[in-house]
Amino acid sequence: MDTITIKDIARALNLSTSTVSRALRDSYEINPETKRLVTEYAERFNYRPNSIALSLKENRSRVIGVIVPQIANNYFSQAINGIEAIAYSRGYYVIIFQSHESYEREIATVQQAVARKVDGLLISLSSSTSDVTHLRELQDRKLPIVLFDRVSKDLDTTFVTADNFGGAFAATEHLIQTGRRRIAHLTIPPYISITQERLAGYRAALEKYGIPYDEKLIQYTEFGQNDVEPFVDALLDQSPDAFFTASDRLAIGCLAALKKRAISIPETVSLIGFTNTPVADLLAPPMSTVEQPALEIGQMAAEQLINQIEGKQTGTQPGRITIPTRMIVRASSERTPAPHPLREQSSL
């Protein structure tokens, strides 16, 4: 692509490159007339500083790398949206990488990001990542890293996550309060952080109401695999009276499976998912949801990372930042009044 450089301007105006540079950078002591000449010429020929040369000189790229399991996903695309908003407002660009839920690809991708000279890394771990030494090494080499959503406690950085525990607790409690007691939980792979947090929230709610935890009511599915029917079948064998699913995809898959089996959803099942889709209103019955604050998570993560890059210590880091979730109740078929929670009972 045809571009004009400082050199071109210098040649055209019979000046040295340093003078031109000074004129453009609005530096001290420069002849106003010279400056006018230079800026006018630059304007006219649409001069733009070569950011690559600048990066080389300043040893930084003003680019932050974002690594997500996949882009074409409601949650992550919203998070990226939040990341971009903050990044752009602070003068950074965003390069996006996908790990495709693969540990190997995550490693390769992180390498590429580093080779690309990103100033920092924003990562949501792939579902098959348990070992994070590839990230710890980079940290040791002083690369700023912030994790979001799918985090690992083995890494000593800032984490930004949704309040998965609280969200799952609220969802489960809502189901209990509308009279369900055998709440099936259809969830994602057990070895990622959010799964465990959500399970803990689910169990805590059961415990609060004195409902025994039955692990046969839990089914773990893989990502990428769209066929949730067998898992739903396995859960149906346990005669549940509600479903609590851990994602949009699972919620939709679950509803589809129930519909296919002509199980009268409105009467027997309340379904709550972590979701962002506005279609929840249109399903029959409407699906209550726990909304993931994807945008805010992205914004917060970006802000933390850029602070770290620019050496602004926020005081409390490295630490964990939790963004609240919001529950939207859409199910209308209440059954019995809520049983009195056992724990509160005994503490009163």
Q: Choose the contact partner of 283 out of a second copy, DNA, none; CB within 5 to 8 A by kind.
A: a second copy
Q: Is 160:321 a contact under the CB 8 Å cutoff? A: yes
CB of 110 to a second copy, least distance (A): 12
Q: How far apart are CA 199 and CA 238, in angstroms?
A: 18
Judged by beta carbon, residue 84 or residue 163, the one nearer a second copy is 84
Q: How many CB atoms lie within 10 A of CB 112?
A: 14
What sections of 45-180 are H helices per DSSP?
A: 51-58, 74-89, 103-115, 133-140, 164-177
Q: Is 250:221 a contact under the CB 8 Å cutoff? A: yes
Q: Is 144:120 a contact under the CB 8 Å cutoff? A: yes
Q: Choose the contact partner of 108 out of a second copy, DNA, none; CB within 5 to 8 A by kind.
A: none
Q: How far apart are CA 41 and CA 273, in angstroms?
A: 59
Instruction: Indicate which single residue of 11, 40, 53, 213 sits in contact with DNA (rule: CB under 7 A).
Output: 53
Side-chain half-sphere of 138: how many Cα atoms within 13 Å?
24
CB of 264 to a second copy, least distance (A): 14
CB of 60 to DNA, least distance (A): 11
Instruction: Indicate which single residue of 5, 39, 196, 268 sits in contact with DNA (rule: CB under 7 A).
Output: 5
Burial class (CB in 10 A: 0-12, 13-18, 19+), 205: buried
Q: Give the footprint of a second copy on this chain (CB under 8 A).
A: 1-3, 48-53, 55-56, 61, 63, 70-74, 77-78, 80-81, 84, 93-96, 98, 111-112, 114-117, 138, 141-143, 252, 255-256, 259, 277-279, 281-284, 295
Considering only residues 13 to 42 of the shown chain, the ones binding DNA according to CB under 7 A are 14-19, 21-22, 24-25, 27-31, 33-35
Instruction: Indicate which single residue of 1, 2, 7, 171 sits in contact with DNA (rule: CB under 7 A).
Output: 7
- Nearest CA to 170 out of 297, 326, 278 is that of 326
Element (H, E) at 72: none
Q: Choose the contact partner of 15 out of DNA, a second copy, none; CB within 5 to 8 A by kind.
A: DNA
Q: Which stretch binds DNA (CB under 7 A): 9-17, 215-223, 228-236, 330-338?
A: 9-17
Q: How many residues bind DNA (CB under 7 A)?
A: 30
Judged by beta carbon, residue 40 or residue 227, the one nearer DNA is 40
CB of 133 to a second copy, least distance (A): 13
Q: Choose the contact partner of 34 out of DNA, a second copy, none; CB within 5 to 8 A by kind.
A: DNA
Is the preceding peptide bond at 337 cis, omega within 30 degrees of 0? no
Q: Is 228:260 a contact under the CB 8 Å cutoff? A: no
Q: How far apart are CA 146 and CA 303, in angstroms?
A: 10
Q: Choose the contact partner of 2 out of DNA, a second copy, none; CB within 5 to 8 A by kind.
A: a second copy
Judged by beta carbon, residue 7 or residue 335, the one nearer DNA is 7
324 is an interface residue for DNA by CB under 7 A: no
CB of 330 to a second copy, least distance (A): 12
Judged by beta carbon, residue 97 or residue 165, the one nearer a second copy is 97
Q: How many CB atoms lie within 10 A of CB 49?
A: 13
Q: How far apart are CA 3 and CA 14, in angstroms?
A: 19
Q: Which residues bind DNA (CB under 7 A)?
A: 3, 5-7, 14-19, 21-22, 24-25, 27-31, 33-35, 48-50, 53-54, 56-57, 59
